[in-house]
Amino acid sequence: MRRLFNGLVDLLFPPRCIACMNVLTDDDRPPFCRPCLAAIRFVRSPLCTRCGAPFEGTGEDHLCGDCLSAPPAFTIARSVARYESAPLTSIHRFKYGGKTAVGKALGRFMARHPAPGLRIEAYTLVIPVPLHVGRLREREFNQALILAGELARPARRPVDAVSLTRRRGTDPQVRLGRDERRKNIRGAFAVTRPDRIAGRKILLVDDVYTTGSTVGECARVLMDHQAEAVAVLTLARA
């Protein structure tokens, strides 16, 4: 009966690529069609062993200049793909178009395409980067929480969306430089349940890694409350 119902749904509302919206065929691999999937550049070596910044060309993984001069609070950061083509389009549909079903599909996509050097099972707690309450009311959902929920489910890891909070709003980061971003975000996050953080290996989840200012500040606050380690996983790398 369920197969019949699902077949009827697919007939009336055929599954579509979450990037280009073309109807998926039997040869496609959801949530993307073959052309969109082929255009995705997954983040692979060579890259920075700390922040995951991809290097051009070939060679060994090594620390980038930023991580050598000012090591971030997190132990490792990785992204699944570069913030372009299908990932960029689908994240915009999810984040700014309110398409939460697209977000769930992206979370499952993250779970199926592990980033190099990072195993979700190695961490005991998954925490999404929190939104300020004003932004949450405006958007009506936290994109990082949706991604984290889908990502953590196959690994059977708990998601904690309350122990790390954003206690003040900040200016939009998109037009700010690296140093301005760090100053803008400083002191924006707080731990409300230190007992849930101390001694835990935490995987911090967000949609896009740009300069690392936001996740770096989150990691600093978590480490200040005796987290054993903090890793960062994002869907895309700008």
Q: How far apart are CA 188 and CA 74, in angstroms?
A: 17
Contacts 24+ apart (CB under 8 A), 148-151: 148/107, 148/205, 149/104, 149/107, 150/103, 150/104, 150/106, 150/107, 150/108, 150/110, 150/111, 151/107, 151/110, 151/111, 151/120, 151/126, 151/205, 151/233
Q: What percent of the chain has pLDDT over 70?
A: 89
Q: Is the peptide bond before 31 cis (omega within 30 degrees of 0)?
A: yes
Q: Is 8 helix (H, G, I), strand (E, B) or coil?
A: helix
| Per-residue model confidence (pLDDT) at position 175 | 62
- According to the 3-state scheme, what is the secondary structure of 212-225? CHHHHHHHHHHHHC
| Per-residue model confidence (pLDDT) at position 1 | 47
Name every residue whose Cβ is closer than 8 Å to that of residue 172 and which is 6 or more positions away in sequence.
none
pLDDT above 70 for 55: yes
Q: The pTM is what?
A: 0.91
| Per-residue model confidence (pLDDT) at position 235 | 98
- pLDDT category of residue 183 using cuts at 50, 70 and 90: confident
| Per-residue model confidence (pLDDT) at position 178 | 67
Helix, strand, coil percentages (3-state) for the chain, rounded to 5, are 40, 20, 45
Q: How many residues does the chain have?
A: 238
Q: What is the pLDDT of residues 1-52, one digit of tens each?
A: 444 443 444 444 689 999 999 999 998 999 999 999 999 999 999 999 999 9
- pLDDT category of residue 144 using cuts at 50, 70 and 90: very high
| Per-residue model confidence (pLDDT) at position 189 | 96
| Per-residue model confidence (pLDDT) at position 160 | 98
> How many degrees, rounded to 5, is the angle at CA 163 between CA 144 and CA 123?
70
Question: Mean pLDDT, to the nearest integer, of 59-84?
Answer: 97
Q: Is 77 helix (H, G, I), strand (E, B) or coil?
A: strand
Q: What is the pLDDT of residues 96-143, one digit of tens each?
A: 999 999 999 999 999 999 899 999 999 999 999 999 998 899 999 999
Contact by Cβ (8 Å): 129, 202: no
Q: Which residues pair with 229 in a beta bridge?
A: 201
- What value does the mean pLDDT of the chain take? 91
| Per-residue model confidence (pLDDT) at position 9 | 42
